[in-house]
Structure 1
Amino acid sequence: MNLLFLLVYFIIITAVIEIYVVLFRLTGLNLKVSRFQVISLMTGTGFTTEESELILGHPIRRKLATFLILFGAFSLAVIISTISNFLSDDLRMIHIFYIAGGVMLVFGVLKLACIQNLLSKLFHREMKQQMELGDLPIRDVFLTEKNDFLLNLHIYTDSLLVYKTINQLFNDQERPEFIVLFIKRGQSKIRCNIYNEKLQEGDQLLLYGDKEAINKLFQHDIRIMKKKLKNQQPPTAFTGG
């Protein structure tokens, strides 16, 4: 009976994991990242990764994470209790089956497209009510479409952009596919007249726009940056979807 209980309990744990994977995905988190972070939160291991910032910087995900941490702690207590009662008949399997059935029912309901759309709207509405625009994660502000792209482009001596302006390289028909948010030069940020500002070696451009357009227009400079940073910290780039 206890082995059956542990099997059913394992099914419950798996269902809870999948339920929260769905919920995290509805907040805009990637599937693989969602599953890893859910398991990490439940087990208390592996959460200290850079991806954990995607959880901590989002109000809805923080609430979901709080439950998972508590659930993981209580789950361990249940397992210990089960082992200690291994030879007893006190476990009421019918209650366990009810719980398992309820969890599976919740999981089945969450897989419905209409329910997912409803929850997604509720999550975004609550997030907008709780947070100012400046407090929202980058992905929720800039990367709302699949082709949205944010790139921190480093300028080197052999870059096409060095000692030139953006306006000298791209005409008005090309430029609408991207914008330059600012130019970082040392400790300062240049935000005024940035398209006519002569770029220097060591500058960093924060570019935002269509992924294909940016990769095409800046392919030479991106290739140089990747080559220079090959044995260093990888370039900062974010994509939507």
Structure 2
Amino acid sequence: MSINLALLILLFLVILYITIIEIFTIIFMITGVSSTRAKFQVISLLTNCGFTTTESEIIVSSRKRRKIAITIMLFGNIFNVAIVSLLVNMVISFSKNKDFNAFRSILYLLGFMVFITIIRKIPFFRVTFDNIVKRIATKVIFTKKANPMLIFDNFHGFVIVEIKIVEVPEKLNNRTLLESTISKDYGIRVLNIKRDDLLMGDISKDEVIMKNDRVLVYGPLANIIDVFEQKPSLYSRAS
């Protein structure tokens, strides 16, 4: 294997590895895991480093998450074998090539990593990629009548979560937020509502949640699941 080909394959694997981490992080988030926990679990599973007992309860308590975890571990094993094999071939190629400039190759790799990091930080690319993954994963994971949830953060049972309203829940159907009493009785606060291209940040108590809205709410996870009629089996006690 030539050095140039080996470097190209290595760069491709790096891009693929980062992409897979992002994809499975979003998938775990859709099933009710906060973003930081989701990324930690994905990296642990891909690298076969293992994870703590407390954190692992989030995964093993859900059948859907266990299936996702198995898929991630399979990807991780394939990648580990591929990368080790590639590195061995690169070392052999480098040792045979007396003109090889290790310093220049390292600079290329560092420059490439900086470029990827900058691209990932650009909101347009990140939001577009995340939306595509969420759209596909939601169709696979949830039934047509479910209201998929994407948890952004978890504060000891209180979560910030985005909900796609596929079917308006009974407690909210044809009722204003004030009439539904979700704030008083369930401790759920609606932070904003995205309706088509309109983002409503200053939510009135007279606002009515409608089908196809994307609603960002804060409150106890158990109550949010209850109000928005989500299946409890998708969530664990520690989520």
Give the number of the structure whose alpha-carbon radius of gyration is greater: 1
**TM-score between the two structures when normalised by the length of structure 1:** 0.43
Tell me the TM-score normalized by structure 2. Answer: 0.43
